[in-house]
Chain A
Amino acid sequence: MAVNEALYQAVASGKKKQVQQIVTEAVERGDEVLPLLDESMIPAMQEVGDKFSRGDAFIPEMLIAARAMQAGVDIIEPLLVNSGHKPVARVCIGTVKGDLHDIGKNLVIIMMKSAGFEVIDLGTDCEVEKYRDAVINQGAKVVLASALLSTTMTYMKTLVDGMKDLPDVPIVLGGAPLTQEYVDEIGAHGYGRDASDAVRIVKDLLAKTA
């Protein structure tokens, strides 16, 4: 199956209702859904991500496209369970304790999914235990954590310290107040400057541990 041009454009331009319509129709026709994701939606989202990395698109455009993508993923994901679809890896992500901001985190989720990852969304206000549970009991191979406030960022050190006995699981951090220096200082493994960057860092870290 070739690229579904209409679906590709709908995701890239953030047309949520069109995405829902095209995907729903395909499902109702009994089309295979995986190619819709792999060959149309994911490349579209990756194009937006690439444009963002080049400075040719900005957060609003990313969020609008991500929302359209999410609408399609919401329909397709439940159907993938029995389709033999193999994700690249399973990761978990959550906003740290004390912080409720999740728009940035949700953008990272959609970018990770667009890169073929399976993502466990831990939500917001997450204590160390929640991340540990995702690793120990749900098989997450990478921990991603975000914070939007300089007042909550400090919890990331608590997170890193609390994961010390799981050295094989890389911790990747992101959020507006963070810097590479801070991430290095508290001993985390990676810093995602933005949503696209986070995906690249996770891939690099997994390649190293593989």
Chain B
Amino acid sequence: MNLHLDNGGEMNVRIATTRNLAAGLRDVGVTLNTRCGERGACKGCHVEIHRGQFRKNGQTIHVYNAEPCLERACQLIPVDDDGDIRVPTTSLLETAAQVDDAFAIHPFEHHPFIRKISVVLPLPAQGKGISDWNLLDNILRQELGDGELVEPDRELLADFSLLLAGSEDRRLGVTMEVRDGRGTILSIHDEAEDSPPILGLASDIGTTTVASLLVDLRNGEILDRASGYNQQISLADDVASRIDIAGTPEGTHELQRLVLFETLNKHLEILLKRTGNRGGNVHSIMLSGNTVMSHLLLGLSPRGIGQLPFLPVVRHYPTATAGVIGLAANRRAPVRVVPSIAGYVGGDLVSDIYTSGLLGMPGTTLLVDIGTNGEIILNDDGNLYGCATAAGPAFEGAGIHCGMRATRGAIEHLTIDADGTPHLEVIGDTRPLGLCGSAIVDFIAAAHHHGFINDMGRLDLDAVRKCGRYTSTNIATKDGRTVHAFLLAKAGESGTGHGIIVSEHDIAEVLKAKAAIYAGMKTLLASRGKSFRDVSKLILAGGFARHLDLISAVGIGLLPELERDRYLIVGNGSLAGAYLGLTEESAWGSFRVIADLPECIELNQCDEFEDLYVEALMIPNLEEDDFPGNHSPPGRKEP
């Protein structure tokens, strides 16, 4: 099979005829954006077929000496190994994802719990029961204030012995982790030779993306950042599919390998290279993620989370070492995973709770992490309640006709004039390739405000036609129905050669997602006899919330209408939690406490959830009392 890439590259590769073309291309190193999980529901893996024979939905398509056709690679099974295919750059899975790794934390005192101690081992006269280790042990215990020192293993003693063998003045540097007065030696080096830095790695392990920080543990300084896709994405897009794959030992092992070796070790490699450090300098690793990711990091099968009663194997994870699980750091470096609250409320939420200061907030406060799964925590006068709500991937641009992640070329924000003229804000200031979630929210809010969309999310076709913005499209359903759409950028204005549109089907997808989040919050509040009126602080965590325009979010009814100062946006609280876990001695203990606090409810078992969900499907809501329009700035809401 001949592959033609947009950068002029050509490849002749053998492609499997037993699997779909997207899977076959992945095998030869050409990874397409199969963001819908190879369901044929998006156009992420579009390829241009110039020649070849394929099976598609049980039928055979031939392309010979004809016009090339665009097809979803995941829906094609090659009949043979012969053919010519052009792979557009827009269909390649980018290795450099745009990841939101910004966060806000309160000022904190830096209490490093990893410290380096310089010692000179004496050479005493021979005596009863004395060894080099006894001498070091005595000195370190004194340093710990008569604390306990963990017994050395054979590898540590081997290092120790070789250092002594090569040292003239028996001057050693010992790097030790000290927690609760208990010391664990992480490394020993020759003080005369060098004084290596003491580094730590903090990572937020998301289902889609992973963000990492390289931290100097002596002063808490963030030396560098790295981020990218969680490479598990090459096997499956969503959490449920990952759980499916992890149903077998091989599947669990492969997912663990992808996140540790293909994702985290790649981050380590980049970070160490850029800062001129060695893996051996990394002495502590703190990872924060949802419960499924946390399980997979440690090679635990999360199968039980996939169905009622959604049980994780454990919530408080054992501390591993880098050497045992295969991370490219000091092999004795402890690898800690932030404990989980429940099957669908993970350590990322523990991090969010800790870093946002939710626990110390008086009255009724709410924290919501908007993602594929929206997790919500309610602090009701010191008692915590939690739930998860299935929003689906629409906010990440998946399942949306022109949807894409927030990478270069994505429309991030937009406004629409009363005459229907759109103004687009594109990441990277290039021609638009598609829209990311925040822009679709802007679109629905603005188009609804100007009357191009009614309360049900349907386009006013006359109004849209009158301003020349009407188009239609065949959506990615199995029967290829034609749906109405609003044209944001004409083919000539876009970077794809096709128009950038928002269809009624796209709007419906976003309405389902926002209804799940809004109804989830309202149901959780109602379960404690509270309403949004009682909420003194609404904390928004997660990368998406940082991009989100609050006025648009309230405009479509994703978020409740509260005064602006009641909103607190904390950004990537999961990464912030991992960072604090590395640098603040008390953080780990707090994580363990927080993970046991929330009482989680199952929304699908709450009678009112379905009603509230259906009400929230309308723009902004069927329940008009929720959105009186008092807190929208002038000009954005009809009188």
Contacts and interface: CB of A to CB of B under 8 A. Distances in A.
Interface of A: 14, 16, 54-55, 57-61, 63-64, 67, 97-103, 106, 124-125, 148-152, 155, 177, 193
B456 A100 contact: no
Nearest to B477: A55
Nearest to B618: A64
B134 interface: no
**Chief secondary structure at chain A's binding surface:** loop
Contact of B481 (A14, A54, A149, A177): A54
Contact of A58 (B244, B307, B482, B505): B505
Nearest to B506: A58
Given A14-B622, A99-B307, A103-B613, 11 more contacts: A14-B456, A58-B457, A60-B508, A60-B617, A61-B456, A64-B614, A98-B308, A100-B605, A149-B307, A151-B306, A152-B307
Contact of A64 (B307, B456, B504, B605): B456
Contacts of A148: 390
A162 to B, nearest CB: 17
B25 interface: no
B506 to A, nearest CB: 10
Interface string B294-314: 000000000100111000000
B611 interface: yes
Contacts of B243: 150-151
B604 A60 contact: no
A57 B477 CA distance: 14
Nearest to B392: A176
21 contacts: A58-B507, A60-B456, A60-B511, A60-B512, A60-B617, A61-B458, A63-B617, A64-B618, A98-B307, A100-B602, A101-B604, A102-B604, A103-B610, A125-B308, A148-B390, A150-B240, A150-B244, A151-B303, A151-B307, A152-B308, A155-B307
* B504, B511, B613, B617: most-surrounded residue (chain A CB, <10 A): B617
A151 B481 contact: no
Given A124-B604, A151-B244, A100 B475 contact: no
Interface string B511-541: 1100100000000000000000000000000
A127 to B, nearest CB: 11
Contacts of B614: 63-64, 67, 103
Contacts of A155: 307
* B307, B604, B605: most-surrounded residue (chain A CB, <10 A): B307
A44 to B, nearest CB: 15
Interface residues of B, number: 35
B96 interface: no
A80 B328 CA distance: 71
* A59, A99, A125, A151: most-surrounded residue (chain B CB, <10 A): A151
Contacts of A57: 458
Interface string B199-241: 0000000000000000000000000000000000000000011
Shortest 3 CB-CB contacts between residues of A and residues of B: A151-B306, A98-B307, A55-B481
Interface of B: 240-241, 243-244, 303, 306-308, 390, 456-458, 475, 477-478, 481-483, 504-505, 507-508, 511-512, 515, 602, 604-605, 610-611, 613-614, 617-618, 622
A102 B610 contact: yes
A148 B303 CA distance: 16
A203 B242 CA distance: 37
A44 B458 CA distance: 18
Nearest to A147: B307
Contacts of A151: 240, 243-244, 303, 306-307
A100 B512 contact: no
A130 to B, nearest CB: 14
B482 A55 contact: yes
Given A61-B456, A63-B617, A64-B456, A99 B481 contact: no
Nearest to A125: B308
B310 to A, nearest CB: 9
Nearest to B510: A60
A86 B611 CA distance: 30
Nearest to A98: B307
Contacts of B240: 149-151, 177
A58 B478 CA distance: 15
A14 B457 CA distance: 13
Contacts of B613: 63, 103
B308 A99 contact: yes
A108 B326 CA distance: 49
Nearest to A100: B604
A125 B613 CA distance: 20
A55 B483 contact: yes
Given A67-B614, A102-B604, A149 B457 contact: no
